[in-house]
Amino acid sequence: MKERVARLKAVRKLIKTSRIESQEILLSHLQKEGFVVTQATLSRDLKLLKVGKISDGRNGYIYSLSGGDERQETERTCAHDFLRGCISIEWSGNMVVIKTYSGHSDSVALAVDNLGLDDVLGTIAGRDDTVFVCLREGISGENFMTRMKESIPDLEN
């Protein structure tokens, strides 16, 4: 978790202080700073940080950070979507099952994905009312709930 936080901080700093035109350039800068990161992870980081491209005033585009207010609004939206759809959370080993109200599995799974928890390998939204969350090896359901409550303070068990 600490490496992810440090990497996100480095991405923000690089975008604010350097002319970053592509993920390849950003990946190169991160590697020079000692981060081992894949293009897929970097892509998820950019999505989480709400990074966009703006005109450089010439003939190209560079990465730009959205305002902090937008990111906070996105986090509130994720929390709201999760709380609105979630009925219960249970787990066994590194598998979490979230029961949702009918038709809410997609929005609950997307909310979990958008929270960007490093402990989560991925989610699968069931057909209607179930979300499966696969956790990294060694991460328990209790760990997941702790992280979720940090992200969504109104979450009850």
| Ranges of each domain in the chain | 2-66, 69-151
Would you list the DSSP string of 10-41? Answer: HHHHHHHHS---SHHHHHHHHHHTT----HHH
| Contact by Cβ (8 Å): 8, 45 | yes
Find, among 46, 49, 7, 6, the residue nearest to 23 by Cα: 46
Q: Are strands 130-135 and 120-125 parallel, antiparallel or unpaired?
A: antiparallel
H/E stretch holding 123: strand 120-125
Q: For domain 69-151, give the CATH number.
A: 3.30.1360.40
The pLDDT value recorded for residue 69 is: 47
Say how many C-beta atoms besides its own lie within 10 A of residue 1's C-beta. Answer: 9
Q: What is the pTM of this model?
A: 0.57
Provide block-wise average pLDDT over 10 residues at a time, the chain (157 residues). Answer: 80 88 93 91 88 77 71 70 94 96 92 86 91 95 92 82
CA distance 116 to 121: 10
Return the CATH number of the domain spanning residue range 2-66. Answer: 1.10.10.10
